[in-house]
Amino acid sequence: MSIRIGIAGYGNLGRGIECAVKQNPDMELKAVFTRRDPASVSILTAGVPVYPMEKAAEMENEIDVLILCGGSATDLPVQTPALAAHFNVVDSFDTHAKIPEHFEAVDAAAKAAGKVAVISAGWDPGMFSLNRLYANAILPDGKDYTFWGKGVSQGHSDAIRRIEGVKDARQYTIPVESALEAVRAGKNPELTTREKHTRLCYVVAEEGADLARIENEIKTMPNYFSDYDTTVHFISQEELNRDHAGLPHGGFVIRSGKTGWDKENSHVIEYSLKLDSNPQFTASVIVACARAAARMQQEGQTGCKTMFDIPPAYLSPKSGEELRRTLL
Amino acid sequence: MSIRIGIAGYGNLGRGIECAVKQNPDMELKAVFTRRDPASVSILTAGVPVYPMEKAAEMENEIDVLILCGGSATDLPVQTPALAAHFNVVDSFDTHAKIPEHFEAVDAAAKAAGKVAVISAGWDPGMFSLNRLYANAILPDGKDYTFWGKGVSQGHSDAIRRIEGVKDARQYTIPVESALEAVRAGKNPELTTREKHTRLCYVVAEEGADLARIENEIKTMPNYFSDYDTTVHFISQEELNRDHAGLPHGGFVIRSGKTGWDKENSHVIEYSLKLDSNPQFTASVIVACARAAARMQQEGQTGCKTMFDIPPAYLSPKSGEELRRTLL
C-alpha cells in the first residue's frame, strides 16, 4: 500500500514536494492545504484536491504523513506542533539556533498523539548536518568546515529588496576558492567570515534612484553584508528575469582530521552538493524522510526525530536485503 | 562507564583499532587476541594483555564489543558468526558479492546469543555504501558512480608479488580525471572499466629476472589488470621502501539525478575521501560502529546490522541534545 502524503503550504517547497512524490512510486499525493483561497491555487497533479488549511485535521485518517512547507520564522513554530497532534509530519525548520526549542515543542505534541515528527529535514540542516555528524564520529580529532554556494540566498535577496529605490534583487553566495583549496589540502586554516564567502548582488533600481547610495547601503548592511566582500551590479528587470530566475544552490562540508598513535596521518572527508533547484532538492530529502517517518511510527516509535535518528535504510523504498545486495 | 573493546587479530587493521580507541575517551582497550604466539606480539597500549585467540570466549563478560580484524577471504566467514555467539562484534567484511550470505550466518548467531553484530563497516563497504544509499533515496531518478584512488590496492600488489621473478610490488589505483569531470558535470557518461581507472605498478624484480616478461604478465593478468591501462615501473627495494611505504587510499561516490515535474533540474551529490592511511581510517569507522553496537544491544536489539541500520546519532559519543545543538 502506498504512503499517503499531504502538503501543507504550496509555494516553491510545496511544489517541489509534489514533484518528488511523483518520482516515488510508493507514494501518493492525497491533498494540498493552503492558507490562500483554495480556488486560487492550481496544482500540477490531476485529481488531487486543494483545501483550506483549517480542514487538514479532518483528514487525519486519510493521510499517513503531512509535509509542512511553511517558513521557519513564524509558520513552523506554530504549525509543526499543532499538526503533529494529528499526523506524522516532516518539516524543514532551518533556524539553527532555535532547533532545540522547536524540537521540545514538537516532541511533546507528537508523543502525546502517538505520532512521529521529523524536523529540520533538507540539506542544511539535513544532509550537511548528517555529514558533519558522521565525519565527527569517525575523526574525533579534526576540524569542520562548511561552505555554501554558489547559490541564491533568498534571505539576502529579500534584504536588498527592502532598501529604498530597489525594485528587485538576486543575491548569490560564493565560496572563496582559495579557502576551499586550503581546507581540502588538510591545512586546517583559521578562516574569518570574509575569507570564506563573497556576496554577489544583481539589483534592479527604480528609475532615477541614487545608485551609489543603494550600493553603499547594501555593502554596509550589518549581519547580511558588512562582514563580506560584496559586489553589486545594477541590471534591468528583463536581465534579472532572463538570467537569474532559477534558485540554484549547493555547498561543501569538509572535515580534516588526524589518526595514528602519534597523530601521524591526515584524512580529508568532503561532501558536496551542486543543485539546480534548492527547493526541489530540499523537497526530495523531505520526501525520503516522510517514508522513514511512516515506517518508524508503524514500528511503534513516537516523538520528534531528526535525520540523526533515522536509520538510513528507512529512507529507501528498497528492502534491507535488496539494499545489502545492491548498494553495500 | 566506558565501552570495553577487544581486538581479534593484530595486523594493520588491529593496530588501527588500537590507535582509534586511544582517540575516543569513552572507550577502553581490554585485550588483544591473536593466532600468533602472544609472546611474539607487542602492542602499543601499556598494560593491555595479549591472549591466544582461543581464550577470547572466556572473556565474554569483560568485553562489550569485540572487533574482528581478520581477512574477508577465509577468516571472517568463520570468526564473525563464531564470536557473535559470545560478544557484540564489528567486522569489515568486504567481499561485496558474499555480503548476503555472511549477513545470514552472522544474523543467526547473534540473534541466538542476544548480541548485536555490525558487518561490513569501513569506507567501502561502509561510508561509500551509505552515501550511495542516501543519494539513491533522495534522487530516485539518477545514476551512481564510484571511483577509487589514488590509493594502494593490497590485492593487486599481492597479485604482482606472486609473479615469478618479482621480489616486491606496490600497485596504485588511479581514477581517470576526465571521467571524474564528466560525471561531476552531470553528463551521466557510460564508462567502461578502462575509462574509469588506471593502474600504476612499482615492481622490484629479482636480479637477472626477465623484466619484459614480468611487465607482460602484469598487463595481461585477467581480472586484475587486463581490462585497465597499466603502467609498470621497475625500481629498487630501497626506493620502494622509501617512497611507497604508506597505505594511502580514497575515492569518490557521485550521484547525479533529475528532479522537477518534467525532470528539468539536475543535481550532483559527491562524497569523497583522501586518506593517508586506509587501515587507520577503516579502523576509525569501525570504532564508531562499535559504540553503536553497544548502544543498540543495550536497548534490546539483537542480530546482524550494517551501517544502513544504524541511526547516525548512535555513532557519536555526544547526546542527542548536544548533537542537535552543535551539528544540526
Cβ contact, residue pair B312, A312, below 8 Å: yes
pLDDT for A197: 97
A128 pLDDT band (50/70/90 cuts)? very high
Whether this model's pTM surpasses 0.90: yes
Question: Which chain A residues touch B24 with a CB distance below 8 Å?
Answer: 140
Phi-psi region of B196 (alpha: psi -120 to 50; beta: other; left: phi over 0): alpha
**DSSP code at position A222:** T
Nearest to A84 by CA among A58, A116, A127: A116
Cβ contact, residue pair A138, B44, below 8 Å: no
Q: What is the pLDDT of residues B167-219, one digit of tens each?
A: 999 999 999 999 999 999 988 999 999 999 999 999 999 999 999 999 999 99
Residue B1 has pLDDT above 90, yes or no: no
Of B184, B275, B311, nearest to A308 by CB-CB distance is B311
Distance from the first to the final alpha carbon of chain B: 27
- DSSP-assigned letters across all residues of A113-140: HT-EEE-S-SBTTBHHHHHHHHHHHH-S
- Residues A149 and A175 sit within 8 Å (Cβ to Cβ): yes
Cβ contact, residue pair A311, B310, below 8 Å: yes
Strand order in the sheet with A3-8: A50-52, A27-34, A3-8, A65-68, A88-90, A116-118, A303-305
What is residue A229's three-state secondary structure?
strand
Rounded to an integer, the average pLDDT of A98-127 is: 98
Q: Nearest chain A residue to B122 by CA: give it.
A: A138
Question: Which chain A residues touch B328 with a CB distance below 8 Å?
Answer: 96, 99, 120, 125, 129, 306, 308
Question: Which chain B residues touch A99 with a CB distance below 8 Å?
Answer: 324-325, 328
pLDDT for A1: 80
Q: What is the pLDDT of residues B35-76, one digit of tens each?
A: 999 999 999 999 999 999 999 999 999 999 999 999 999 999
Collect all residues with Cβ–Cβ distance below 8 Å to B302 and sequence separation of at least 6: B110, B111, B113, B114, B115, B116
What is residue B37's three-state secondary structure?
coil
Q: Nearest chain A residue to B141 by CA: give it.
A: A23
Rounded to an integer, the average pLDDT of B130-153 is: 97
Cβ contact, residue pair A276, B266, below 8 Å: yes
Cβ contact, residue pair A328, B275, below 8 Å: no
Of A265, A311, A313, nearest to B277 by CB-CB distance is A265
Cβ contact, residue pair B308, A312, below 8 Å: yes
Question: Which chain B residues touch A184 with a CB distance below 8 Å?
Answer: 274
Distance from the first to the final alpha carbon of chain A: 27
Counting every residue written for chain A, the total comes to: 328
Question: Which chain A residues touch B312 with a CB distance below 8 Å?
Answer: 130, 133-134, 137, 307-310, 312
Instruction: Compute chain B's Rg from CA coordinates.
Output: 22
pLDDT for B237: 98
- DSSP-assigned letters across all residues of A187-209: ------HHHHEEEEEEEEEPTT-
- Residues B202 and B237 sit within 8 Å (Cβ to Cβ): no
Query: What ipTM was estimated for this complex?
Result: 0.97
Q: How far apart are CA B92 and CA B287, in angstroms?
A: 11
A263 pLDDT band (50/70/90 cuts)? very high
- Mind telling me how many Å the CA of B223 is from chain A's nearest CA? 21
A79 pLDDT band (50/70/90 cuts)? very high
CB atoms within 10 A of CB B217: 18
| Chains A & B: contacts with CB separation below 8 Å | 206
pLDDT for A178: 96
Letter for the amino acid at A4?
A: R
Q: How far apart are CA B231 and CA B201, in angstroms?
A: 6
CA distances from B155 to B151, B225, B326 (A): 12, 12, 41
Q: What is the pLDDT of residues A174-230, one digit of tens each?
A: 999 999 999 999 889 999 999 999 999 999 999 999 999 999 999 999 999 999 999
Q: Provide the pairing of β-strand A265-275 with B265-275.
A: antiparallel
pLDDT for B68: 98
Q: What is the pLDDT of residues B76-115, one digit of tens each?
A: 999 999 999 999 999 999 999 999 999 999 999 999 999 9
Choose the mutation target among A3, A259, A291, A319 for the interface with B, i.e. most B CBs under 10 Å. A259
**DSSP code at position B226:** T
Q: Nearest chain B residue to A96 by CA: give it.
A: B328
CA distances from A193 to A164, A196, A223, B156, B255 (A): 27, 5, 11, 46, 30
Choose the mutation target among A138, A249, A272 for the interface with B, i.e. most B CBs under 10 Å. A138
pLDDT for A222: 94
Q: Mean pLDDT across chain A, nearest whole number?
A: 97
Q: How far apart are CA B298 and CA B292, in angstroms?
A: 10
Q: What is the pLDDT of residues B256-293, one digit of tens each?
A: 999 999 999 999 999 999 999 999 999 999 999 999 99
Of A267, A275, A313, nearest to B309 by CB-CB distance is A313
Of A129, A281, A327, nearest to B132 by CB-CB distance is A327
Q: Nearest chain A residue to B145 by CA: give it.
A: A327
Q: What is the pLDDT of residues A110-121, one digit of tens each?
A: 999 999 999 999
Rounded to an integer, the average pLDDT of A303-311 is: 98
Letter for the amino acid at B192?
A: T
Choose the mutation target among B324, B325, B326 for the interface with A, i.e. most A CBs under 10 Å. B324
- Mind telling me how many Å the CA of A211 is from chain B's nearest CA? 35
CB atoms within 10 A of CB B73: 11
Which set of grid coordinates corresponds to residue A134?
Answer: 558522521
How many alpha carbons fall within 13 Å on the CB side of residue A85? 9
Rounded to an integer, the average pLDDT of B218-232 is: 96
